[in-house]
C-alpha cells in the first residue's frame, strides 16, 4: 500500500512540476514570438491593423533586419558589445580561476582570513560615487576597461568555482605534485581538464553579464563610438524619431515598430542560441559547484 501511495505521489509531483515548467516555457515563448512576428510585419499589414502577432503574416518582410544590419551605428554597437563580452569574459576567467584554485587549497596559510576579506566588499559595497571616482582617477572613462575591470572578479562565481575544485579527487593533485609538478602545472594540466563544466558555466554567466552591459556603459562610456548594443537598443526604443538611428522614411518597407522589434530580437538572439548548446554543462557545473561534500 505504501509503495502504491508513494508511486501515486511521485506521478502527481511529476505532473505538477511538468505543468509548472510548461507554463514557464509558454510565458517565455509568447513574448519572443510576438517580437519576431512584429519584426517581419510589412508596412501594408500595419496599415490594415494586422500585425501578425500570433501567426505569421502571409506577406512577410526582412527589411527591418536589412536596415539594422547594414546601418553603421548598429554594426558598430554590436562590435563594441562583442569586444566587451569576449575580452571581459577572458579577463574574468583569468582572474577567477587562479583565485578559486588558491582558495580551494586547504593548506593555504590564512585561507579563512582571505575568504573573509573577499566577502567584506561583496557584502558591503562602497557605492556608486566612490566607484566612479576610482575609475575616473585611473583614467578609464571612455574606455572599454571601465566596464570590464570593475567587474573583473565576482565573489559569488569564485566561491562556486572554489567548491567545484574542492570536490575534485585530491589524489590527482597529490600524484601530480609527487611527479614534481608545481601548483601552476597542477592547475593547468590536472584541474582545468577536469573542470570543463564549471568553466563553461561561469564563463556563460560572465558572458551574459557583459553582453547585457548597460548601466556601467551609460556611466563610463560617453563617446558615441563606444556605445554597446544594449544602450543603442534603449535609445532606439525610446527615440521619438527613428531617423536618428536607422535610415527610415515614408517609402520604407519596414515600419518603425518592426525596426524596434528587430533590434530587440537581434540583441537577445546570441544568448538564446548559446543557452541550449551549453545546457548540459550549465546544469552539471551549477550542481557540482554548489554542493560540497
Summarised one tens digit per residue, pLDDT across range 169-220 is 888 888 888 888 788 888 888 888 888 888 888 998 899 899 998 999 999 9
The secondary structure of 90-155 as a DSSP string is HHHHHHHHHHHHHHH-TTSTTHHHHHHHHHHHHHS---HHHHHHHHHHTT-TTSTHHHHGGGS--H
Report the distance separating Cα 105 and Cα 85, nearest Å: 30
Q: With 70 as the cut, is the pLDDT of residue 240 above it? A: no
242-262 residue pLDDT tens:
555 555 444 354 567 778 888
Which H or E run includes 65?
Answer: helix 63-69
Q: What is the pLDDT of residue 129?
A: 86
The mean of the pLDDT values for the chain is: 80
Specify the pLDDT at position 272. 80
CATH number, span 62-293: 1.10.3720.10
**Confidence (pLDDT) at 292:** 46
pLDDT digits (tens, 9 = 90+) for 102-117: 998 888 888 889 888 8
Overall average pLDDT of the 260-271 stretch: 84
pLDDT at 239: 66
Half-sphere exposure of 248 (CA within 13 A, CB side): 21
Residue 287, pLDDT above cutoff 60: no
Residue of higher predicted confidence among 53 and 90: 90
Per-residue pLDDT tens digits for 42-87 = 755 555 555 545 555 566 778 888 888 888 888 899 999 999 999 9
Amino acid 250: pLDDT: 41
Please tell me whether residue 42 adopts helix, strand or coil conformation.
Answer: coil
What pLDDT shows up at residue 263?
85
Give me the pLDDT at residue 61, please: 76
The interaxial angle of helices 2-39 and 256-277, nearest 10 deg, is 140
Instruction: Report the distance separating Cα 153 and Cα 138, nearest Å.
Output: 18
Q: Residue 228: what pLDDT?
A: 93
The burial of 73, by beta-carbon neighbours within 10 Å (0-12 exposed, 13-18 middle, 19 or more buried), is given as middle
* Closest residue by Cα to residue 161 from 95, 76, 217: 95
Break the chain into its structural domains and give their ranges: 62-293
Amino acid at each position: 500500500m505504501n509503495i502504491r501511495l508513494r508511486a501515486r505521489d511521485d506521478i502527481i509531483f511529476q505532473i505538477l512540476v511538468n505543468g509548472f515548467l510548461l507554463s514557464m516555457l509558454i510565458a517565455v515563448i509568447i513574448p519572443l514570438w510576438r517580437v519576431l512576428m512584429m519584426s517581419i510585419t510589412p508596412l501594408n499589414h500595419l496599415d490594415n491593423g494586422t500585425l501578425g502577432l500570433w501567426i505569421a503574416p502571409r506577406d512577410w518582410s526582412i527589411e527591418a533586419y536589412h536596415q539594422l544590419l547594414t546601418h553603421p551605428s548598429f554594426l558598430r554597437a554590436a562590435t563594441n558589445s562583442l569586444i566587451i563580452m569576449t575580452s571581459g569574459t577572458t579577463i574574468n576567467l583569468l582572474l577567477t580561476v587562479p583565485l578559486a584554485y588558491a582558495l580551494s587549497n586547504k593548506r593555504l596559510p590564512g585561507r579563512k582570513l582571505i575568504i573573509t576579506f573577499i566577502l567584506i566588499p561583496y557584502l558591503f559595497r562602497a557605492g556608486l560615487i566612490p566607484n566612479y571616482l576610482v575609475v575616473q582617477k585611473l583614467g578609464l572613462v571612455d574606455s572599454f576597461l571601465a566596464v570590464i575591470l570593475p567587474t573583473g572578479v565576482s565573489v559569488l562565481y569564485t566561491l562556486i568555482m572554489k567548491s567545484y575544485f574542492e570536490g575534485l579527487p585530491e589524489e590527482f593533485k597529490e600524484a601530480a605534485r609527487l611527479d614534481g609538478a608545481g601548483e601552476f602545472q597542477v592547475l593547468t594540466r590536472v584541474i582545468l581538464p577536469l573542470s570543463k563544466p564549471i568553466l563553461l558555466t561561469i564563463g556563460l554567466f560572465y558572458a551574459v553579464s557583459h553582453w547585457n552591459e548597460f548601466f556601467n556603459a551609460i556611466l563610463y562610456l560617453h563617446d558615441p563610438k563606444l556605445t554597446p548594443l544594449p544602450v543603442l537598443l534603449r535609445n532606439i526604443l525610446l527615440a521619438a524619431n527613428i531617423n536618428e538611428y536607422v535610415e527610415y522614411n515614408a517609402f520604407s518597407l519596414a515600419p518603425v515598430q518592426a525596426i524596434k522589434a528587430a533590434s530587440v530580437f537581434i540583441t537577445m538572439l546570441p544568448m538564446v542560441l548559446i543557452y541550449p548548446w551549453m545546457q548540459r554543462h550549465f546544469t552539471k557545473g551549477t550542481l557540482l559547484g554548489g554542493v560540497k561534500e
